């Protein structure tokens, strides 16, 4: 029998730096700081929702990939 610990990489939404690995059933809110761009994120583990707590505002590029 194989025990699988499913870990998902959680990456910084801005620079793609790995912030942490989360378990399959991880829930709740964590705060983590990106080691590359120094932004502080609040992450909802269940939904992968990112909220920026501090650091430079996210530069939004026009016509990036918001629209299909």
Report residue 35 as tokens.
Answer: 């080691």
**Does residue 12 interact with Zn ion by CB under 5 A?**
yes
Query: Among 37, 42, 45, 55, which residue sits at the site for Zn ion (rule: CB under 5 A)?
Result: 37
Specify the stretch interacting with Zn ion by CB under 5 A; choose among 3-11, 12-20, 24-32, 59-67: 12-20
From the CB of 2, what's the least distance to Zn ion, in Å?
34
Q: 19 with 39: CB under 8 angstroms?
A: no
- Looking up tokens 């699988």 gives 4
**Does residue 17 interact with Zn ion by CB under 5 A?**
yes
CA distance 68 to 9: 25
């Amino acid at each position: 029998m194989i025990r699988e610990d499913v870990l998902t990489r959680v990456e910084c939404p801005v620079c793609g730096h790995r912030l942490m690995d989360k378990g399959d059933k991880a829930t709740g809110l964590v705060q983590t700081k990106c080691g590359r761009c120094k932004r502080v994120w609040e992450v909802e583990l269940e939904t992968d929702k990112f909220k920026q707590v501090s650091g430079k505002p996210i530069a939004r590029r026009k016509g990036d990939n918001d629209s299909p």
